[in-house]
Amino acid sequence: MSRITSSAPGKVILFGEHFVVEGQPAIAIAVSLRAYVTVEPTQSDEIKVYSKNFDLTETFPLNQRDSWTGKMTPVAVAAYTAMLEADKKTGLNIHIDSQIPPGSGMGSSAAVAVATVHATSLALGLQLDPRKVSDLAYEAEKVVHGKPSGIDNTIATFGGAIAYRKGEGFIQLKPIFRGVKLVLADTGNPRNTGEMVRRVLALKNTYPSILDPIYYSAGKLVVEAAQLLEKGDYENLGILMNINHGLLSAVGVSTKEIELLVHTARENGALGAKLTGAGGGGYIVALCRENDAEKIISALKSHATNVLTVNLEEEGVRKENI
């Protein structure tokens, strides 16, 4: 048993959020922001988790698993599931340092869960298959989101770009990502992913005959978008981003702050712009030509609390040589 640091990337959902929960496909890409998790086995009978981002330490006794509570519970659950897989119960010190803004819709919790499972298993002498890492991290995601789609832990594990459908797994895409950038802008309003997912599902259950066609359209849109992504047809991809945003607005997850950022990006030359993640706050994503990026970034800074430019991250979860 040894001290191990692993990292996993965040993500941006380009198409299909919310609709993916009910079996429609979605497209996500890993982005160049990573969560770093260091795991060190100890002689204690507890899991101690420290988050640098929240400046928070919480302790989880191994013999009181059913009564764990606290902000870091999903991290402890991720470590515990890996511990059970390795068939080694031991104390752990876990240190989290993430570049991914929490509550942003960029898969922060999933990246931390994936890196935690990966580092814990290696620290306990177990080399897990990537699919197993993703499956175990999904259990921790259930603590956060209740009924997660599975897309966040998948992209954090495998990296790159994927088309994903719940229950059917994923297809690795080969996007041509040249001459364009993704710009992310923060509304400054945090939102609860689990709550937004429950709200949309409740709406769908109340009005299934109205919402079903919207879900179907969202699914057809993703199939078209995957082809455009691999062709590098970003003019039309941007149009589909705008349509996807309209569908998300229809199910009630946009806000006036999101709309302001989306339209600011479009008015300043973005090929397409939409909310990304659960909505209700968080970030928007804008697809833009490299030559237009600075103008768009400057305009967004007038209204956003944070603006980021990200690249496609080809590599998923990995062990860090620190």
Integer Cα distance of 151 and 164 in angstroms: 7
- What SS3 state is found at 274? strand
In a 10 Å sphere around its CB, with 0-12 CB exposed, 13-18 middle and 19+ buried, how is residue 267 labelled?
Answer: exposed
Distances (CA, A) of 80 to 94, 224, 291, 321: 12, 40, 47, 24
Q: Are 141 and 113 in contact (CB under 8 A)?
A: yes
**C-beta atoms surrounding 156 within 10 Å:** 35
Handedness of CA 186, 191, 194, 196 (dihedral sign): negative
CA–CA separation, 129 vs 133, rounded Å? 6
Residue of 66, 87, 135, 152 with catalytic role: 152
Q: Is 152 a catalytic residue?
A: yes
CA–CA separation, 274 vs 286, rounded Å? Answer: 7
**What are the helix (H) ranges across 173-288?**
193-206, 208-231, 234-250, 256-267
Residue 226: phi and psi, rounded to 5, are -60, -40
Report the greatest alpha carbon distance in the chain. Answer: 58
Cα distance between residue 268 and residue 252, in whole Å: 25
First and final C-alpha spacing in the chain: 16
Residues marked as catalytic: 152
